Each structure stands twice: as structure tokens, then as C-alpha cells.
Chains A and B, each alone.
Chain A
Amino acid sequence: MFARIIALTIKELLAVLRDKRSRFVLIGPPIIQLMIFGYAATFDLNDIPLAVYNEDGGAASREFISRFAGSPHFHVIATPDHDAQITPLINERRALMVLHLGPRFGADLARGDSASAQIILDGRNSNTAMLALNYARTIVIDFNETWAARHGGAAAPAHLVMRAWFNPTLASRWFIIPGIVGLLTLVVTLVVTALSVAREREAGTFDQLLVTPLRPVEILIGKSLPGLLVGLIEGSLIILVAMYWFDIPLRGSVGALYLGLGLFLLSAIGVGLMISSLSITQQQGLLGAFLFLVPAVILSGFATPIENMPQAVQLLTYLDPLRYFMIVLRSVFLEGGSYTLLIHQYWPMALIGLTSLTLAGWLFRHRMY
């Protein structure tokens, strides 16, 4: 039995790795993508293009503006001196934010009245706009405290002391890169498995495989092992790059991470083989892989939190193995997650894996065309 499985595994690996181009697309792109996406996927803003319209021009207004100009988050790109110049700056996306100080800014400040600083934002990307506004608010609160302290105004009687756990500088890279580990592992595994049965069906060799002494279980294992091997190796490679190139701290146990990776691969392979044995042509296999991959990424909580989704969509996310693996990855990397804390992420992945593998094995024999 083992000899047969090993023979089939070797044949499957050869089918994928024999071709130079197939070999390359398996190894090159995931690493290149990790590097590019690792740098690209960030919610942190820097160099926000800012336009400053200062109608006052006095010392106080200049001091206020210098707080923005000196911040690493902002970059002054224009200083309009006319109302009409503001609209095109925002419309044409040259500035994300316009800071407008009225002619009475300095006078109001000196009198102890509230001076108002108008901030205009390009809301076409509302997340970016909100983050930029938060940066601006922090600068203003800071300015207010210094000003009140210096001029004896009424300081706020209570202030906030904010701290962030697990990610003290709130670098979004720490959140995104562990997510990319899951994303790329899924893509690679799915690509290896989703076309494996469809290719044989299209070539007509799957019937030949069925009449060999191999039992369906053995075919299933033989078809799964290459995906598992490729997934483990690629996954490890990507984890190493995340740790040593991007300096993401790995605070939890490696064992907990690999238990998660193994179970996740099991479920990804199961889904891939199920898609593959459902499809008659490679085009259908590819389409199926896409139809699974794209929602799986969106619903995993990779970029947008699951808690923000409507209840019905949240229920749907429970079917997504990537959802559980994302939690495992982030928990082990950043929070130092342990086996016991993650038990509720492990068993659903195992369940999805076993169900889909069983279905795939059943489909081998029963899906005829």
C-alpha cells in the first residue's frame, strides 16, 4: 500500500515540477509577492500631501502650521492664497488634506477664544481620510496643551494616556504580514491541488488511474501529499522571511504555529481536491479555485475585520478555513498564543479538512461525465 502511495506521490510531484515554468510559478511569485505586498499593504500613512491656506499669517498661526509641517505624517505640497485654489487641489487628488486658518485665527487665540482650524479632506478613500484626520487631531490636541500651559489657559482637567498592547507602535505591517503568510500558502496549495484531478480528467488518464489496483483512499492520499509537501515548504519559507526580513516578532510557540499550518493545509488541500474532482476541464478547475480563493481571502479578516461584517456574512466566514488560520497566525506571532488558547481555531480546520477530503474521495468514483 505504501509503495503504491509513494509511487503516486512521486508521479504527482513530477507532474507539477517537471516543467520549468511550473516550477518557477510555484516558487518565484510567492516570495516576490511577499516582498512587494509586505511593503505595500499598510494602513499607516506617511507623507500625506497637505495644502496650507493661511489667511492669518501671524506668529501663532505659523507656529501652529509648523507642527504639521514638522510631522513625519504630513508633507506640505502647496500654500494656496485664495479660496478658489482649494477645490482643484482636492479634486485632482494633489492634496489629501487642506488646512485652512481664517484671518482671525491669531486674534482669537490671543483673546482666549477658541480659534477654529478648518480641515478639508478628500473622502474618496474614507479610511485614509479618517486616519489623516486622526493624525491631525493628535497634533492639535498637542498644540492645545502646550498653548494652554504657556498662556495659562484652562487646560483639560483630565487627559488620556494611551497604550497599545502587542503592537506598541501600531505598525500595521505587524498585522498584515502574518496575514500574507496565510494568503500565499493558500494560493500555492490551491494551485497545486485544484488542477490535479481536472488535468487527468481532461487528458483521460484519470480513468486509467481508477482501474489500477490503487484504492480511492490511496489515490486521495497520493494526490494530497504533494500539496502538503509544497505547502509546508513554502509556508516555512514565507514564515522565515516574515521573521527575519520584516522583523515580525514570533512570540508564541512554533509548535502551535505548525499545528495550525498543518491543519490549514489539510483543509486547503481538501477544498482544492474537491473542486478538482468536481470539474471536467482545467478551465472549470481554475474557475472553481478562484471562486473559492477570492471570497476566502475577503471573508478571512485579512484586511477588514470580521466584526464589521453583517451577521449573515459573519456566519458565512465560519466556513472559511483561512479565517481560523489568520487568527492562529496573528495570535502566535503577536500575542504569544498557545495550544489551549487556539483550540477553537484548530478543530474547525480539521473538520473542514476531513469533510472536504471525504467528499473529494467520494467524487473520484461518482462524478462521471
Chain B
Amino acid sequence: MNRQPEARGGTGRRLRGMVRKEFLQILRDPSSIAIAFVMPVVLLFLFGYGVSLDAKDVPLALVADQPDTNTSGLLRAFEHSDYFTPWHYADIQTAMQALRRQQVDGIVWMRDDFSRRLIDSADASIGVIVNGVNANQARITEGYIQGVWQSWLEHYAAARGRELEAPVMVEPRVWFNAALYSRHFLVPGLIAVIMTLIGALLTSLVIAREWERGTMEALMVTPIRIREILLGKLIPYFILGMGGMLLTVALARWQFEVPLRGSFLLLLIASALFMLVALGMGLLISIVAKNQFVAGQIAIIVTFLPAFILSGFIFDIGSMPAPIQFITHLVPARYFVAIVQTLFLAGDIWPVLLPNAGALALMAVVFFVLVRRRASKRLD
């Protein structure tokens, strides 16, 4: 190649021309700019505020068949908890009706023998019913109820001058997110989900469009090479996509106040890698589909829902059945979610970053090889 400087100069000029044409096209139909800049902001705001797994003010029905000082002690413990909004019901029937109508999410019920059994035989039972439809929420609610019960037990023992000696006490320490604040892990993951969408959307239609409009043939008769067409399509959208990425990272850091404990430079490199994968995926879809309708459908199908469900952004990958875990390895967002969650919350942990970045690099290479192959075949 070095022996043909004029050819190289030609490449540069042709590529510049192609990039310029794409930029003009982007500017003329601002929907690409909207995809790259407006969409991430809107989505991050919606998701950042809309997605939360922290249950608070859970409506809880409290029923004491025979109210007295013992039951009111326990009821007060529930009233003082931040997690619950208590509702008092006179009998269990009306409470159950409220549960059925979804006015409350759970019931705590002390039967009429509660005090007698508490004092006489120390084996009183507290009935707890939760609405199990949302199983995750129900489990969390059960956990909160257990917490209130435990602190009441300690209180009850202390009030009788005894110390409650539970044989084993749990001392939990949650690293990286001590307050268990779900937004801190959801927002970095959202960056990955949003950028998958945007990268693939930006490029999935650009080549299909040229085919459909017949301008691909016009491009084919110019001296431009297939490599230059692809690069010309890629460069402008890469710049747009990285702009959108920086915007979301800035929002995560300053708007949602997620701590960025790792290095910004590493985040930038990983983002660039991921953006290449997403754009490569979009280009491949575009070349394979050759028609905007099919390209659009494929882009919707392979990006949003897999990135949402299979990336580990919200559902734990380790708990999925083995064949599904295998499939998650094909979802690029999976690697990026691991990287951003670690970089934001934990720091520069190389044993996590390296394999995931390596997987992204590999995927980028595979996509571009496929793109190159499919593209040249069609143009020959």
C-alpha cells in the first residue's frame, strides 16, 4: 500500500466526501440527531426516575382481634417503620377484602389469643398474608416485616428487663451500595440499555435506505470502495453516538448523583468499544435486511428487550437456567453492564474489566468482519 501514495490520498478524499455526505444527510433529516441526543436524555430521565425497586410506604393492613397493650406495642412498631403505611381494620374479613381489592399489599393479624399465648406460653403467632402477585415485591415486604418483628422482640424483651439473646445475630455489610439504593445500580445499567438502542437504531437503516431508494447503485458506479462506504457510514454515527454516551454519563453522575468510583478514561474506552459493537450490529442488520421495514423490525427485536432482560441489568444472570445463561453471552449489553456497574460503583477492578472489554472487542471484530463480507458479496 505504501507504494501507492496517490491511491491513499484518493482514499482519504473519497472517505471525506462520503463522511460529508452522511453528515449532510444527518443534518437534513434531524431524526438521527434526535436519536443520538434527545432520546438518551428523555429515556434516562424517564428510567432514572421511573425504575426503582425500593419499596417504601407499602400499604399494610393491621388487625388486632383483641386490642390491648401487647398488640398495640407491635402495631406501634409497624406504624413507626418508614417502609409501611399502616391501615387499621377491625376484623380480618374486611382486611382480606382490602387485600383482594389491592388497597393494601399485606396483612398483619393478631388473633384474640395473642396476648394470652404471648404471656402464658410464649408461643404467640402473628399471621402475615402478603399479596404474592408481584413476587419480588412480596419477598421484600416479607423481609421488612421480619425486620419490624425483630426490633419489636428486642423492645419487648428490654421492657421486661431482659436482654433478648438471639443465638446468632446477623451483621450485614453491603459493599459499594450500603444504603441498598436501587437507583445506583439501575442508572449505570440503563446507560448500557439506552446506548444499545441508540447505536443499533442509528445505523440499522442507513444502508437499507440506500438500497431501497436505489442510491446504492449510484454509489456503486463511483470509484468509492466498499470499505470506504462502510467507514463513511460509521464515522459520523460513531461521533453522534459517543456524544449521546457522554451526555448520559454526565446525567448519571450529576443529575442522579451516582458515584463514579472508577476512572473516567476507562469508562470512555469501554464506551467506545461498546459503541463500535452496537454500530456494527446495526450495520450488519442494515446490510442483511436491505429493506427498511425488515431492518427496523430486526433492530427492535434484537436490541431493546434482550438488552433489558438478558443483560443482567435488572435480572440476575447467575440465577437463569444454564442454556439461557449461554444465550446471554451473545448479548453485547451484558458485558457493558458488568463494566459500567463496576466502574461506577466499585472502581477499576481489572479482573472484571478485562474479560468483559475483551469480549466486546471480539464482538466488534466479528460484526465488522461479517459486515465486510456480506457487503462485498452483494456489491460484486
For residue B185, CB closer than 8 A to chain A, the reply is: yes
Inter-chain contacts of B67 with A (CB < 8 A): none
Could you tell me if A167 and B320 are in contact, using CB atoms closer than 8 angstroms?
no
For residue B89, CB closer than 8 A to chain A, the reply is: no
Could you tell me if A33 and B182 are in contact, using CB atoms closer than 8 angstroms?
no
Stretch at the interface among A116-124, A212-220, A261-269, A354-362: A116-124
- Which residues of A from 148 to 191 have beta carbons under 8 Å from B? 148, 151, 153-168, 170-172, 174-175, 183, 187, 191
For residue B305, CB closer than 8 A to chain A, the reply is: yes
Could you tell me if A165 and B130 are in contact, using CB atoms closer than 8 angstroms?
yes
For residue A343, CB closer than 8 A to chain B, the reply is: no
Q: How many A-B contacts are there with CB distance less than 8 Å?
A: 354
For residue B374, CB closer than 8 A to chain A, the reply is: no
Chain A 121-137, CB within 8 Å of chain B: the 1/0 string?
11111111111011011
Could you tell me if A175 and B135 are in contact, using CB atoms closer than 8 angstroms?
yes
In the bound complex, CA of A47 to CA of B305 (Å):
25
Could you tell me if B130 and A160 are in contact, using CB atoms closer than 8 angstroms?
no
In the bound complex, CA of A137 to CA of B148 (Å):
13
- Which residues of B from 248 to 275 have beta carbons under 8 Å from A? none
For residue B192, CB closer than 8 A to chain A, the reply is: no
Given contacts A40-B310, A283-B209, A124 and B46 within 8 Å (CB-CB): no
Residue of A nearest to B295 (CB): A286
For residue A140, CB closer than 8 A to chain B, the reply is: yes
Could you tell me if A157 and B153 are in contact, using CB atoms closer than 8 angstroms?
yes
Could you tell me if B304 and A290 are in contact, using CB atoms closer than 8 angstroms?
yes
Contact of B170 among A46, A137, A183, A291 (CB under 8 A): A137
Interface size on A, residues (CB 8 A): 116
Could you tell me if A22 and B134 are in contact, using CB atoms closer than 8 angstroms?
no
Inter-chain contacts of A291 with B (CB < 8 A): 39, 42
For residue A43, CB closer than 8 A to chain B, the reply is: yes
Contact of A283 among B31, B134, B156, B300 (CB under 8 A): B31
For residue A308, CB closer than 8 A to chain B, the reply is: yes
For residue B24, CB closer than 8 A to chain A, the reply is: no
In the bound complex, CA of A137 to CA of B260 (Å):
31
Interface secondary structure of A, over-half rule: helix
In the bound complex, CA of A128 to CA of B46 (Å):
23
Residue of B nearest to A145 (CB): B167
Could you tell me if A289 and B300 are in contact, using CB atoms closer than 8 angstroms?
yes
In the bound complex, CA of A117 to CA of B172 (Å):
8
Given contacts A41-B309, A122-B175, A92 and B352 within 8 Å (CB-CB): yes
Inter-chain contacts of B50 with A (CB < 8 A): 295, 298-299, 304, 309, 313, 316
Stretch at the interface among A107-115, A224-232, A238-246: A107-115
For residue B27, CB closer than 8 A to chain A, the reply is: no
For residue B65, CB closer than 8 A to chain A, the reply is: no
Inter-chain contacts of B137 with A (CB < 8 A): 305
Closest Cβ of chain B to A87, distance in Å, is: 9
In the bound complex, CA of A183 to CA of B128 (Å):
33
In the bound complex, CA of A133 to CA of B34 (Å):
43
Closest Cβ of chain A to B226, distance in Å, is: 23
In the bound complex, CA of A95 to CA of B314 (Å):
18
Inter-chain contacts of A128 with B (CB < 8 A): 316
Stretch at the interface among B13-21, B51-59, B228-236: B51-59
Could you tell me if B178 and A167 are in contact, using CB atoms closer than 8 angstroms?
no
Could you tell me if A304 and B304 are in contact, using CB atoms closer than 8 angstroms?
no
In the bound complex, CA of A126 to CA of B185 (Å):
7
Could you tell me if A29 and B318 are in contact, using CB atoms closer than 8 angstroms?
no
For residue B173, CB closer than 8 A to chain A, the reply is: yes
Inter-chain contacts of B136 with A (CB < 8 A): 43, 127, 131, 172, 175
Contact of A40 among B168, B205, B293, B309 (CB under 8 A): B309
Could you tell me if A293 and B304 are in contact, using CB atoms closer than 8 angstroms?
yes
Closest Cβ of chain B to A242, distance in Å, is: 15
Closest Cβ of chain B to A145, distance in Å, is: 9
Could you tell me if B346 and A124 are in contact, using CB atoms closer than 8 angstroms?
yes
Could you tell me if A313 and B135 are in contact, using CB atoms closer than 8 angstroms?
no
Residue of B nearest to A37 (CB): B309
Closest Cβ of chain B to A132, distance in Å, is: 9
Closest Cβ of chain A to B124, distance in Å, is: 4
In the bound complex, CA of A158 to CA of B346 (Å):
41
Given contacts A113-B165, A191-B300, A287-B201, A22 and B171 within 8 Å (CB-CB): no
Contact of B135 among A93, A170, A297 (CB under 8 A): A170
Inter-chain contacts of A307 with B (CB < 8 A): 55, 57
Given contacts A123-B345, A136-B170, A141 and B304 within 8 Å (CB-CB): no
Closest Cβ of chain B to A161, distance in Å, is: 5
Could you tell me if A163 and B314 are in contact, using CB atoms closer than 8 angstroms?
no
Given contacts A124-B342, A159-B126, A163-B128, A33 and B168 within 8 Å (CB-CB): no
Contact of B142 among A123, A134, A341 (CB under 8 A): A134
Given contacts A114-B167, A116-B171, A162 and B128 within 8 Å (CB-CB): yes
Could you tell me if A90 and B175 are in contact, using CB atoms closer than 8 angstroms?
yes
Closest Cβ of chain A to B263, distance in Å, is: 15
In the bound complex, CA of A138 to CA of B170 (Å):
11
Inter-chain contacts of A92 with B (CB < 8 A): 349, 351-352
Could you tell me if B142 and A162 are in contact, using CB atoms closer than 8 angstroms?
yes
Inter-chain contacts of B35 with A (CB < 8 A): 287
Inter-chain contacts of A137 with B (CB < 8 A): 143, 146, 170
In the bound complex, CA of A285 to CA of B74 (Å):
57
Contact of A29 among B100, B156, B301, B310 (CB under 8 A): B301
For residue B221, CB closer than 8 A to chain A, the reply is: no
- Which residues of A from 257 to 281 have beta carbons under 8 Å from B? 281
A-B contact pairs, 16 of them (CB 8 A): A22-B294, A22-B297, A33-B305, A43-B316, A91-B352, A93-B342, A114-B169, A115-B169, A131-B136, A154-B165, A160-B125, A162-B129, A293-B304, A303-B314, A305-B55, A335-B133
**Which 6 pairs from chain A and chain B are nearest by CB?**
A123-B177, A167-B132, A164-B132, A43-B136, A172-B135, A157-B122
Residues of B at the A interface (CB closer than 8 Å) are 29, 31, 34-35, 39, 42-43, 46-47, 49-57, 74, 99-101, 114, 118, 122-140, 142-143, 145-146, 149, 153, 156-157, 162, 164-178, 180-182, 184-185, 197, 201, 205, 209, 289, 291-294, 296-301, 304-305, 308-310, 312, 314-316, 318-321, 323-324, 327-328, 338, 341-342, 345-346, 349, 351-352
